[in-house]
Amino acid sequence: MSDLHDHQPDAFDALLGDAEIHVEPGNPQIEVTVTVPVAASTLTALTERAQREGREVEAVIADALQAAA
C-alpha cells in the first residue's frame, strides 16, 4: 500500500500552473467586544482616577485591562 504523501516533489506542478491566487486584505472595520466583569469598587476607583487625570474613563479602563493582560 502506498503512502498518501508518496509522490514526486513536482507531481502537481502542472495542476498548480493554472491556479489563480486571490488575496483579500483584512477588514479594518471589524470590531471586537469583550465583556469583563468588574467589581463596583474597582469601577469607582477607575472612574475617580479618570477624573483626577482629566481623561476619559474608557481610556483608563482600557489601560487597566491592557496592564492586566
pLDDT in tens, 15-44: 667 777 777 787 778 787 878 788 889 889
Rounded Cα gap, residues 45 and 61, in angstroms: 10
Could you tell me the residue ranges of all domains in the chain? 35-69
Q: Which three cell numbers stand for residue 19?
A: 491556479
Q: What is the pLDDT of residue 54?
A: 95
Residue 25 or 61, more confident: 61
Q: Which residue has the cell 503512502?
A: 3
Higher pLDDT, 50 or 6: 50
CA dist 5 and 12 (Å) reads: 12
Length of the chain: 69
Q: What grid cell was written down for 26?
A: 483584512
pLDDT band at 3 (very low <50, low <70, confident <90, very high): low
Confidence at 53, pLDDT banded by 50, 70, 90: very high
